[in-house]
Structure 1
Amino acid sequence: MDRFETKSFALMPGQRVEAEVVSHQPWGVLVQITGHEDDGLSASIDMIELFSSHTSSHEELLALFPPVGSRVEAVVQQVNRWHPPVSVRLSIRATDLAALTWACDFCGERTTLSPGGDALVLDARSNNGPGSCSMVVHRQCLAQRIRPESSGERARALKIGERDWGSPLA
């Protein structure tokens, strides 16, 4: 089976990346993520979503668009792997770069995806064919939903991403 989304599994919400601005669109910018130029994915930054509530005019919003050809530091907000091409939504908002938060798909409360945060990203795939989806969850929300008999899996859910079972991965 040919899985179009395989190369994109290296990208996940909360991950910092560098991207080059390829073009301006009415809603934002299209970008190419450094290191993923040949992965067949589409990446963008929705400037209207990120900044329109903080600007007083359309001209002020347009002034925030990074120039075509410039490189920006960004954080992955979402990765859509339902169908080709894989679509990646990035944020360049300073607060998201410092600590990206997202609603937990179990409880609805905000969880922190950035390193040191309390979020996990779950990827759901099927053997029946390509395509997948990602869910963002609190570690505790996942652990609480694992059967009590699976105590090892509960413990692992609480420790994923930690080195030496105690210090977060850098």
Structure 2
Amino acid sequence: MTGQLPITTALSDSSGMERFETGSLPLMPGQRVRAKVLSHQPWGLLVAVAGYEEAGISASVDMIALYSRTAIGRDDLLALFPPVGSEIDAVVQQVRRSHPPVSVRLSILPADLECFTWPCEFCGERTVVSPGGDALVLDVRSNDGPGSLGIIAHRHCLAERIRPENGGERLRVLGLGRG
């Protein structure tokens, strides 16, 4: 075994975080989930995503950010907070794996539960992230250490950025997830 590192060394760093955390990989923006409300905070809710309670994943619903575009007052906003201990339907907005613990931001807006959209990181226009939509979620990782970043983009915006002579990859990007 000369010149090879043991797998445990190659997959973790000095902070103890696995180099490529895998427990949260099934969670993707646009995915509907169930969550249990753990506590109320001044800005929103701390929740546990069903099926990920033991994975060390921090999850939240930023009620102020969700309802900041509406003209409701503080008392009306607080009335929208689901009770502690209740189970709620939510949609994954973002999954942050840049440092431990993994942080998941959820939305409980009815419109997002119906059809979740997010700005494309390339063009800035909104793209449908819900199943059947026109978005792709890119998982960006570094070869230098732990953590990753999720980027949401239109299929065509990503395909346009692939070199023209690499037409096969362009076609694969346009066809990902489409039967």
- The RMSD of aligned alpha carbons is 1.1
Q: Unaligned stretches of 5+ in structure 1?
A: 164-170
Is the deviation greater in 46-55 or in 123-132?
46-55
Structure 2 distance, partners of 1:111, 1:19, is 25
- SS of 1:83's equivalent? coil
> Which residue of the other structure, out of 32, 43, 47, is the alignment partner of 1:27?
43
Could you tell me which amino acid in structure 2 is paired with residue 23 of structure 1?
A: S
- SS of 1:67's equivalent? coil
> Which residue of the other structure, out of 122, 125, 142, is the alignment partner of 2:138?
122
2:22 maps to which residue? 6
Conserved in 2, the CA contact under 8 Å of 1:55 and 1:61?
no
Matched, 1:83 2:99: yes
Structure 1 distance, partners of 2:29, 2:134, is 13
Identity of aligned residues (%): 63
Structure 2 distance, partners of 1:140, 1:100, is 18
The structure with the largest alpha-carbon Rg is 2
- SS of 2:91's equivalent? strand
Residue pairs, 1:25-104, within 5 angstroms: 25-104=41-120
Count of residues in correspondence between the two structures? 163
- SS of 1:106's equivalent? coil
TM-score normalised by length of structure 1: 0.92
1:159 maps to which residue? 175
Structure 1 pair 89–69 and aligned structure 2 pair: CA distance change class (3 A): same
Runs of 4+ in 1 over 3 A off after TM superposition: none
2:124 maps to which residue? 108
Structure 2 distance, partners of 1:61, 1:24, is 12
2:5 maps to which residue? none
Displacement of 1:56: 2.7
TM-score normalised by length of structure 2: 0.87
1:136 maps to which residue? 152
Conserved in 2, the CA contact under 8 Å of 1:52 and 1:61?
no
Displacement of 1:139: 0.2
Structure 2 distance, partners of 1:30, 1:55, is 24
Could you tell me which amino acid in structure 1 is paired with residue 30 of structure 2?
A: G
Would you tell me which structure has more strand in proportion to its own residues? 1
